[in-house]
Structure 1
């Protein structure tokens, strides 16, 4: 089987369109369609359902995409490594970040990479911690910054920061200006919170359980930017690490209050795959660079 056809399959699966995929791959649409048909004939299954809205994966197609995403990336990285041995480092890597840390980490990591390894290209994607763990395990991404330990034996991780949660509210809030806020009082505020059960929301759920308090949830969303906008607009309060809301705090759209000790915290980890075949000079040096930048930015 030609790996080229599998690469074409992945592109069509990701774009959901022969037209879009042919543009990215720079091959004619009829030729791409033929390659997909040949792959289906070789496997003896239908990989896509053709509709007026595009190419939809069948159950067999979903299985194939999940099974080959990691191996195809590792093959690509192996070829890059071979070509760059003894030469200037050149490779493509993908870093996954939780939405709350993109503003704090994406630009510093990209800038450091450009300065240190100008021939390495970094792709940055966002996802909730649970999604990033899944992507990392399947080889869709190479590194991930996680908001808690993955608890996955297949992943290697390094703790890079511990971030306390603070109460965040609008400038017009009537809360006292000084003094720590008890956990029980904070949990009774109308809260705008992430919906995902890991990371920040997991830490808040733990505090609620220990305090025997029910959360008073106003809105749930996994967009930290929307959380910041809702809180600034008076829709409630949130519990977040300060570095998640740096821009709004700098604009004086939000205020923060400390929680009584022990303040709830989230631990931040840099995680990679234990059994990655792409480990080597490029991978280890880029891993160290991401770790160093993240520690500098978050501590």
Structure 2
């Protein structure tokens, strides 16, 4: 297998057929077919099924595509990194974070890149809190801002902040008081959780409490955009953060109560895959994320405790 074969294979996978892939790669269909046949012969397995509607990856093809994306992305990053190593920060860096994090730091991060690094290409993807790591593990992004990630040796995780989880809902559901509510009292209420299976751990890093929370939840939802209106309608309540529901709290549609016995906090980490070497561009974006998160906390836009480490200023004697 060589890089050209991998590029051709990835193009066929993404385009769903030889003709469109050949057009994308600017090669003849026969050449593309020849390379694919050689690749399948080398591994003694079919990578695609051929149908009248197009070409569809087999299980082996799906697995190879995951590796191909990672390899091709690393090669492209290395080329960008070395090409500009002595002159400027350039290349492409992709980041995934929850919608609430984008609200707090997304604009600042974009503006810093625009103002300071005109040749750096930044892509930001939005996800539910519990699914950000899936983007990283499937090699769709370079950096993931993930809550309570697992202790996985394939991950390089840097703590950014710790924020308190609160109960959010309308007065008829959570009560006409600002007094804290106990965890045991909270799970008796009509709770709504995001539907993704690993979300309870993204909410609280305690397996026992996460399992109890998931078991008692009456409702599930996959849309963070719909969560606010549903809470405001009085249909249910949710364990979330003030940042995520700040608009609805500020407008008086819902209220929040602290949770105690125990208090519930979650930690946000900046995660990367250990197998992927850092580039000058990813190092710079990593530093920028740390700085904009710190700034958002200091300015009161994000109610949280900063856990990161900012670079020390250079002393000029």
Same fold (TM over 0.5): yes
1:40 counterpart (18, 36, 56): 36
Note the 1:110-149 alignment, pairs <5 A.
110-127=110-127, 131-137=131-137, 139-149=139-149
Secondary structure of 1:185's counterpart equals helix
- Seen in structure 2, the aligned counterparts of structure 1 residues 95 and 210 have a Cα distance that, compared at 3 Å, is closer
- Seen in structure 2, the aligned counterparts of structure 1 residues 253 and 236 have a Cα distance that, compared at 3 Å, is same
Match of 1:282 in 2: 281
Match of 2:193 in 1: 193
In the TM superposition, what is the alpha-carbon distance from 1:196 to its structure 2 partner? 3.1
Residues 82-109 of structure 1: per-residue CA shift (max 9 Å, x gap)? 2112222211011122345333333332
Aligned CA-pair RMSD: 3.2
Query: Is the CA contact 2:183–2:262 (under 8 Å) kept in the aligned structure 1?
Result: no
Residues 195-225 of structure 1: per-residue CA shift (max 9 Å, x gap)? 3343555545948749978854232123222
In the TM superposition, what is the alpha-carbon distance from 1:280 to its structure 2 partner? 3.6
Match of 1:246 in 2: 246
Query: Is the CA contact 1:171–1:253 (under 8 Å) kept in the aligned structure 2?
Result: no
- Seen in structure 2, the aligned counterparts of structure 1 residues 266 and 40 have a Cα distance that, compared at 3 Å, is same
**More deviation, 157-166/11-20:** 11-20
TM-score, normalising length from structure 1? 0.83
**More deviation, 145-154/74-83:** 145-154
Secondary structure of 1:267's counterpart equals strand
Residues 109-129 of structure 1: per-residue CA shift (max 9 Å, x gap)? 222222221211112223456
Match of 1:101 in 2: 101
Secondary structure of 1:258's counterpart equals strand
Note the 1:58-97 alignment, pairs <5 A.
58-97=58-97
Q: Distance in 2 between matches of 1:283 and 1:36?
A: 33
Match of 1:151 in 2: 151
Match of 2:265 in 1: 265
- Seen in structure 2, the aligned counterparts of structure 1 residues 171 and 119 have a Cα distance that, compared at 3 Å, is farther
Secondary structure of 1:77's counterpart equals helix
- Seen in structure 2, the aligned counterparts of structure 1 residues 140 and 226 have a Cα distance that, compared at 3 Å, is same
- Seen in structure 2, the aligned counterparts of structure 1 residues 162 and 276 have a Cα distance that, compared at 3 Å, is same
In the TM superposition, what is the alpha-carbon distance from 1:266 to its structure 2 partner? 1.0
In the TM superposition, what is the alpha-carbon distance from 1:254 to its structure 2 partner? 2.5
Query: Is the CA contact 2:5–2:36 (under 8 Å) kept in the aligned structure 1?
Result: no
Q: Distance in 1 between matches of 2:101 and 2:276?
A: 25
Q: Distance in 2 between matches of 1:192 and 1:243?
A: 17
Count of residues in correspondence between the two structures: 294
TM-score, normalising length from structure 2? 0.78
Query: Is the CA contact 1:17–1:54 (under 8 Å) kept in the aligned structure 2?
Result: yes
Q: Distance in 2 between matches of 1:261 and 1:267?
A: 18
**More deviation, 127-136/51-60:** 127-136
**More deviation, 77-86/107-116:** 107-116
